[in-house]
Chains A and B, each alone.
Chain A
Amino acid sequence: MKDFRLHLIVLILIVVAEKIGNISITVGVGKIVLLPMMYALLMGVATAPRFTKISSEKNVRTASSLLGVTLMLLMARYGTLVGPSLPKILAASPALILQEFGNLGTIIIGVPLAVFVGLKREAIGAAHSVAREPNVALIGERFGLDGAEGRGVMGVYICGTVIGTIFFGLMASLAAAYLPFHPYALAMAAGVGSASMMTAAVGSLSAMFPQMADQIAAFGAASNMLSGLDGLYMSIWMALPFAEWLYRKSYRMKYGVDPEPPVVRNLEEGKEGEAK
């Protein structure tokens, strides 16, 4: 916390980022919105010890230890966005709950693709969900993070951390511009990933539909909270078994033989071995 060099770097980054402001780029009939938070992220990366060396290894460690707390201010603000819209959110709650099934779309495309490009059991970890913290914890508990499934889920997790925010922001503006979705539906879908992915997507949408900005943010935040609750159970009961099944089917299609059976981590095994 007393790393004033880090705070000074961040202060400069945000002033520059906010000075630049939103940039709308017209692409065909739609537009992509670039947000100050995206420049702040990219400039933050650029200060890395391995690039411009503006921030030191120590700054990097402090920044990563502070992240959890800094997110709380945003979460407080989200709470106050959800409150005033609560009647509207309750009215829309069936959509908020059921859209978790959208995750199954991931598996239908993701698992066969992963097998097709040559991943083995990594496919199950990688494509069973959008791979945020709860999913990583789940895979870690079931298969161990050092196993193939663990490598898969960690790979997508790291990708999400590095490119997820910008990816979600751009994806939301493209979807709003080119696909026939209502902004509310896109706002709800924004909640599937981490809080920063949701914020980037919600930010892009509110820049495109300023008159609905508060509702969009409220739906995104509500969906993000709900995903945190029901998403994990969806993964355990539906997504993982389905991914496993589809993996066997895809594997047989590509290689013509059945895949090797999964190595489920069994904590009791080691103990038995010692007893003998």
Chain B
Amino acid sequence: MKMSETLGVLLICGFLSLVANVVGTKNGFVEAIPGMLFLIALAFLGIWLGKVIPGGIPGVAYVVTIGCILTVPGVPCAAAISAAVSKVGFMQLCTPILAYAGVAICKDLDVFAESSWRIVVVSCVVFVGTYIGSAIIAQLILKAIGQI
């Protein structure tokens, strides 16, 4: 995908998220714009860095890392950025993504319908096993180091 196209998709998705944000939260459309513009710029920068910096590190790593560094308490602008993006609800960012995902899943539905019930049973057990297994370990260790 060309970078201009990427930017276009980010802008469209950002707009859709702002709509979701207005409908789903108490935040207004205009007050969420600065935060959304920051997120779009950050996502674009990260994708671009992933393309130009050698080493094969995917763009998503840059996006998350830079977003994290810029908002660590004490970093200049951190408070301003946090305040701006706090107007953009993260659940409302997911709604458009999962709407696209829903439409896109149609591609996999045939394969899903063909896969045997055995795989579906095993999948559910795998999801539950991994989730509960991880939760047990997290719980024990958080307790042991006194975080909860």
The smallest beta-carbon distance between B48 and chain A, in angstroms, is: 11
Q: Is A236 in contact with chain B by the CB < 8 A criterion?
A: no
Task: Report the interface size class on chain B.
Answer: 35 or more
For residue A66, which residues in chain B have a CB less than 8 angstroms away from its CB? 9, 13, 100
The answer to whether A162 touches B119, judged by C-beta atoms less than 8 angstroms apart, is no
* CB-CB nearest in chain B for A164: B127
Name B109's contact: one of A17, A45, A77, A87 (CB within 8 Å): A45
Return the CB mask of B78-90 against A: 1 if under 8 Å, else 0: 1001100100101
Q: Which of B80-121 contact A (CB under 8 A)?
A: 81-82, 85, 88, 90-109, 111-112, 115-116, 118-121
| Interface residue tally on A, bucketed by range | 35 or more
| Complex alpha-carbon distance, A35 and B14, angstroms | 20
Given the complex, which residues of B lie within 8 Å of A163, measured CB to CB? 123
The 8 Å CB contact of B134, one of A1, A123, A167, A192, is A192
A36 touching B24, Cβ below 8 Å: yes
Provide the bound-state CA to CA distance between A35 and B132, in Å: 21
The interface residues of chain A lying within 8 Å CB-to-CB of B124 are 159, 167
B contact face: mostly helix, strand, loop, or mixed: helix
Contact between chains at B109 and A103 (CB < 8 Å): no
The answer on a CB contact under 8 Å between B9 and A70 is yes
Residues of chain B within 8 A (CB-CB) of A164 are: 127
**Among A10, A73, A185: residue with most chain B CB under 10 A:** A73
Q: Does A24 contact B (CB under 8 A)?
A: no
Among A113-121, A136-144, A249-257, A262-270, the one that faces the other chain is A113-121
Q: Is A13 an interface position by the 8 A CB rule?
A: yes
Q: Is the interface of A mostly helix, strand, loop or mixed?
A: helix
Residues of B within 8 A of A96 (CB): 138
Whole-angstrom CA separation of A75 from B103 in the bound complex = 21
- With an 8 A cutoff between CB atoms, is A127 at the interface? yes
In the complex, whether B10 has a CB less than 8 A from a CB of chain A is yes
Q: Which residues of B contact A131 (CB under 8 A)?
A: 123, 126
Q: Contact partner of A102 among B59, B85, B137, CB < 8 A?
A: B137
List B residues 121-140 near A (Cβ within 8 Å): 121-139
The digit string for B6-33, where 1 denotes a CB below 8 A from any CB of A, is: 1011101110110110011000000000
- Interchain residue pairs with CB less than 8 A apart (24): A1-B9, A14-B99, A15-B20, A40-B96, A44-B102, A44-B105, A45-B105, A55-B106, A67-B100, A78-B90, A80-B81, A83-B67, A94-B141, A96-B138, A101-B137, A105-B130, A105-B136, A126-B126, A127-B125, A168-B127, A179-B135, A185-B135, A189-B133, A193-B130
Interface residues of B (CB under 8 A from A): 1, 5-6, 8-10, 12-14, 16-17, 19-20, 23-24, 39-40, 42-43, 46-47, 59-60, 63-73, 75, 78, 81-82, 85, 88, 90-109, 111-112, 115-116, 118-139, 141-142, 145, 147-148
User: Residues of A with Cβ closer than 8 Å to B?
Assistant: 1, 6-7, 9-11, 13-15, 17-19, 21, 35-38, 40-50, 55, 59-61, 63-67, 69-84, 86-88, 91-92, 94-96, 98-110, 113-114, 117-119, 122-123, 126-127, 129-131, 152, 154-156, 158-165, 167-168, 171-172, 175, 179, 181-182, 184-186, 188-193, 196, 199-201, 203, 206, 217, 221, 225
Given contacts A74-B90, A105-B133, 18 further A-B contacts (CB under 8 A): A36-B95, A64-B104, A69-B47, A70-B10, A72-B10, A73-B93, A75-B67, A79-B71, A83-B70, A106-B129, A155-B116, A158-B108, A161-B105, A175-B135, A182-B139, A182-B142, A188-B142, A191-B134
